[in-house]
Amino acid sequence: MKGLEAVLAVARRGSFRAAALELGMSTTALSHTVGRLEATLGVRLFNRTTRSVSLTDAGREFVERVAPALTEIRAAMESARSQRETPSGLLRINASFQAGREIAPLVLAFLRRYPEMQVDLVTEGRLVDIVAEGFDLGIRPADLVPRDMIALSLGKLQRYAVVAAPAWFAAHSTPLSPADLPAQECLRGRLPNGALLRWQFERGGEPVQFDPKGRLTLDEAAITRAAVLDGAGIGFFIEQDVAEDIARGRLIRLLEDWTPPRPGFSLYYPGRRNPSAGFTAFLGMVREQAARLSQRG
């Protein structure tokens, strides 16, 4: 089983190093595990060079046949575990960076409540296929959840925030509407799918989209924040990423009346016939939190 998991991880990641990180083992140990399986089979499954790893024809056929069988084995194991009354085992969650920060307090509360549980929370910008990459749950903005998934709102609304540094305002006039934004002064953001982010505004039910034309394009909120703090131009963020900067006066907010609350993050997962006790318990805590936030609202 361990050898099969190792081969599928390398095939999925296209790298021994990335697969080793995913499996929580050293690259050397992973290489030995794959090598032992290849020796047992009497055939090479991977072509290895110093720069790349790719499946051989035999390896490709092996993975195509083994992957569905391993999925069935995992399902059988989850079905058996679901009979336990006490949640235990590993829960793997994939989230965007912002969603990871939001769910972290709930994950810590979950681990305190269920000491036999483990959680592997992976945060990344790209939108992954959680089934293909072995995750139990995903967390993304509601509008990015795949249509074939079951979605559960985390209950907290999000807002966008348009901000610039005080130094920027010293040399520019203050925009009063999206139409006033100087497009060349607005930093561009790249989404995980490679598309450029269009800034979304709304007031009085009137939606407006804005295309920034700045010279700098970035794909990570923390780097964009640093650039805006340095006076590089106007940035467009999820509010929580710059809330402290606004409160401390390091950044000044623009067009706040054009950025109303919007649906926040959703937790999502594929339909399951026999969810584990740990999986069910975590969903229960998410629902509890969403209900509390709804009552406050």
Q: Tell whether 11 and 70 lie within a shared domain.
A: yes
64, 81, 98: which is the final residue of a domain? 81
- The CATH number of the domain holding residue 28 is 1.10.10.10
Question: From CA 143, how far away is CA 127, in angstroms rounded?
Answer: 12
Terminal-residue alpha carbon distance, the chain: 48
81, 103, 134: which is the final residue of a domain? 81
pLDDT at res. 145: 87
- Tokens (6 digits) for 206: 């009137």
Q: Tell whether 75 and 94 lie within a shared domain.
A: no
Q: Tell whether 15 and 151 lie within a shared domain.
A: no
- Count CA atoms closer than 13 A to 77's CA, side-chain side: 10
27, 57, 81: which is the final residue of a domain? 81
Q: What is the rounded (10 degree) CA torsion for 205, 208, 209, 212?
A: -130
Q: Tell whether 57 and 131 lie within a shared domain.
A: no
Question: pLDDT 10s per residue in the chain (297 long)?
Answer: 778 888 888 888 888 888 888 888 888 888 889 888 888 888 888 888 777 888 898 888 888 888 888 778 777 776 666 555 678 889 999 998 888 988 999 999 999 999 999 999 998 877 888 888 889 999 998 878 888 899 998 877 888 999 999 999 988 989 999 999 999 999 999 887 788 999 999 998 889 999 999 999 998 888 999 999 999 999 999 898 899 999 999 999 999 999 988 878 899 998 866 788 889 999 999 998 887 776 665
Q: Tell whether 145 and 274 lie within a shared domain.
A: yes
Question: From CA 224, how far away is CA 237, in angstroms rounded?
Answer: 9
Q: Tell whether 45 and 65 lie within a shared domain.
A: yes
Q: Tell whether 67 and 7 lie within a shared domain.
A: yes
Q: Tell whether 172 and 145 lie within a shared domain.
A: no
Q: Tell whether 274 and 128 lie within a shared domain.
A: yes
Q: Tell whether 143 and 56 lie within a shared domain.
A: no
Q: Tell whether 166 and 254 lie within a shared domain.
A: yes
Q: Tell whether 206 and 171 lie within a shared domain.
A: yes
Which range of residues forms the domain containing residue 39?
A: 2-81
- The CATH number of the domain holding residue 181 is 3.40.190.290
pLDDT at res. 165: 96
Helix (H, G, I), strand (E, B) or coil at 152: strand
Q: Kindly report the pTM of this predicted structure.
A: 0.61
- The CATH number of the domain holding residue 289 is 3.40.190.10
Q: What total number of domains does the chain contain?
A: 3
Tell me how far CA of residue 220 lies from CA of 140, 230, 235, 257, in angstroms.
15, 16, 12, 25
